[in-house]
Amino acid sequence: MDWAIPCSACLTLGCFFSYKLSKVMMKLRRFYFILMASFGFAACDNYLDVVPDNVATIDNAFSMRSTAEKYLFTCYRYLPPHGNATNNPAFTAGDEFWFYTPFIGFTAPGWQIARGNQGVVTPILNYWDGVTQPFNGIRDCNILMENMHRVPDMEEVEKRRWVAEAKFLKAYYHFWLLRMYGPIPLIRENIPVSAGVEEVKVRREPVDDCVAYIVQLLDEAAADLPNSIEDEQNELGRITRTIALSTKALVLATGASPLFNGNGEYTGYKNVDGQSLFNAEYSAEKWRMAAEACREAIELCHEMGLSLHRFSEGIGQFELSPETVTQMSIREAVTERWNSEIIWGNTNSTAVALQREATPPLDPANLSNQNTKGNLAPPIKIAEQFYSTHGVPINEDKTYDYAGRYELREATGADKYRLQEGYTTAGLHFDREPRFYASLAFDGALWYGQGKRDDDDQWTVRSKLGQPQQKISSNRYSITGYWPKKLVNYQNTIGTGSTYTIRYYPFPVMRLADLYLLYAECLNEFSGPGDDVYEYLDRVRERAGLPPVLEAWNQYAREPDKPTSQDGLRSIIQRERLNELAFEGHRLWDLRRWKRAHSELNNPITGWDIDQDAPENYYRVRTLFNQSFQMRDYFWPISESSLIRNRELVQSPGW
């Protein structure tokens, strides 16, 4: 066995979700059949079985605290799999990872979306009426909210907290759908059993109304949620006021972004009754509201003691170099459980399989280990996205040899904590920011951890033909020559045989650096460059080992005044988010809300020529796929069968 799940005391909420849910499902047919007809869902018989056997009533679910608690955990079970490359489209439906063809590793339906194979007959990653069905989660949240008052053996303050958790989850499920589908039906209340046929035919509601309703739920939830979790042993992963306010900031920033704010592309997007679903008029006030929400969330985070994570400078008997400490601060901000930066960690999604897919077979003495898959392959465009060592884009740094970035260089002693000394690799891998080396592994790169704790003796990645990290087998290699090292906990250890001991971590849905950059973005969009914008941008840059933005551009950039204009600073902030949050499930949603996906995802996917053994042949750029993104791809299609069942629904534009 290559990994072991800890006891509930270690895994907290995520562990007992799966245990208790098996005992929680009962048949709520009187709500289920009616509501499912609205969306075209198929009926199912495995809902909430609660003692006594074969009695399917809400009365049983809310007859005592213990059964009500199980129902609350039912509401949590619909949380999206943020750390799952199979079902989270943010990992594979964009351009951040690529795979070999035909891909025979883990199931990667999102990659079919990235390859342009989405359709209306059987939509891929269909969260509308397939996959985990957030609408089902919304229904269960409504049931809990309507019935918590009936539980006899609970204090009112605890009842209000559980209702608040359900309100947050209901809001988040609506938000998850909003980002995918744009205007969606708002399920304010469950449809009663007495409803007529026409009453159950829900329709989409305008985007502004969707955002306003989600924010209303989050505000109501925040009022009755605890600021932080006190019983950490049993409750880590449950929703807090800090999570609610931070999510509110993200929702408002999304609603203020170009895809949703004044988007003239959708002036003709209307319901069957002629109701417009998009407001074509731009509103700067939306950015002000989002900035205020960010500020409020940041203040509470600080009050709760959250701060940007810093790695310890020593590991046992080893003193680490400043370069390694900076890289590990970046890596651990994602992979260290409940570190000081985590606002919301999803305990339902503990990044176990994800780490297998991100790890190449590092140990030359154990290349047959089947649990180091190394399938997740960032393209060259992602490697080029990171800054130079001066903290500016490599094509803007006047000291960086951008034209010669594919030429060969040999690493020297000055590179000893970033590259293997004496190794020949591409110029692209030299003189880059710490996040480049913390986030990516590649031919000639060093890999700290995985059993090696001395940064003078790290794993070296050697991935040309005939070397240890080459294409081991038909289903264990990176098609581009890069791996997302950032996602792998350095405390994992590669053992003998197929043993790979994985230290799980709750996947970070939001961390403080994300919130800081969101605040800087909102402030700049509302009022342009200013001291507060630079302050929060520079906080993230300083932890990443970079100089302040004004200093970096003034000294090294070809356009030194870029950070002083709103447009220029917008470009910088967006690049900062792409670098800081790389591989964490943000890029796809950010590119979409910025309305940049149709340009960024319309470029060739490239990698190195990985089947070559000589450096001069290996470091040839090879086109793997010519990606295409159309305007219709901004929003998922609804299946044709759902549209046939409910004529009040309109299809997403272009489908």
Check whether 57 has a pLDDT greater than 80.
no
Which range has the worst mean pLDDT, 26-30, 361-365, 559-563, 623-627? 26-30
What's residue 459's pLDDT?
96
Q: Per residue in 607-625, pLDDT tens?
A: 999 999 999 999 999 999 9
- What is the distance between the alpha carbons of residues 541 and 548, in angstroms, rounded to a whole number? 7
Check whether 28 has a pLDDT greater than 90.
no
| Mean pLDDT computed over every residue of the chain | 90
What's residue 196's pLDDT?
76
Q: Per residue in 442-493, pLDDT tens?
A: 999 999 999 999 999 999 999 999 999 988 787 889 999 999 999 999 999 9
CA angle 269, 271, 273 (to 5 degrees): 130
Check whether 548 has a pLDDT greater than 90.
yes
Q: State the average pLDDT over residues 303-330.
A: 90
Which range has the worst mean pLDDT, 145-154, 224-233, 249-258, 312-321? 312-321
Check whether 11 has a pLDDT greater than 80.
no
Q: How many residues comprise the chain?
A: 655
**pTM of the shown model:** 0.91
Cβ atoms of residues 200 and 189 within 8 Å: no
What's residue 314's pLDDT?
64
What's residue 562's pLDDT?
98
What's residue 473's pLDDT?
80
Q: State the average pLDDT over residues 17-21.
A: 35
Torsion of CA 489, 493, 494, 496, to 10 degrees: -160
Check whether 37 has a pLDDT greater than 80.
no
Q: Per residue in 330-384, pLDDT tens?
A: 999 999 999 999 999 999 889 999 999 999 999 888 887 778 889 999 999 999 9
What's residue 38's pLDDT?
45
Q: State the average pLDDT over residues 304-324.
A: 88
Check whether 551 has a pLDDT greater than 80.
yes
Check whether 36 has a pLDDT greater than 70.
no
Check whether 286 has a pLDDT greater than 60.
yes
SS (H, E, C) 9-34: HHHCHHHHHHHHHCCCECCCHHHHHH
What's residue 30's pLDDT?
36
Cβ atoms of residues 78 and 136 within 8 Å: yes
Band the pLDDT of 52: cuts 50, 70, 90: very low
Place of tokens 């280990």: 369
CA angle 444, 450, 455 (to 5 degrees): 60
Band the pLDDT of 223: cuts 50, 70, 90: very high
Q: Is 501 exposed, middle or buried (0-12, 13-18, 19+ CB in 10 A)?
A: middle
- What is the distance between the alpha carbons of residues 386 and 366, in angstroms, rounded to a whole number? 32
How far is C-alpha 545 from the geometric centre of its chain's CA atoms? Answer: 24
Check whether 429 has a pLDDT greater than 60.
yes
SS (H, E, C) 411-438: CCHHHCCCECCCCEEEHHHCCECHHHHH
Q: Per residue in 642-651, pLDDT tens?
A: 999 999 999 9
Check whether 25 has a pLDDT greater than 80.
no
For residue 187, give Cα distances in angstroms to 25, 28, 79, 466. 21, 17, 17, 57
Which range has the worst mean pLDDT, 38-42, 98-102, 422-426, 616-620? 38-42
Share of the chain above pLDDT 90, in %: 81
Q: Per residue in 498-533, pLDDT tens?
A: 788 999 999 999 999 999 999 999 999 999 999 999
What's residue 131's pLDDT?
62
What's residue 12's pLDDT?
36
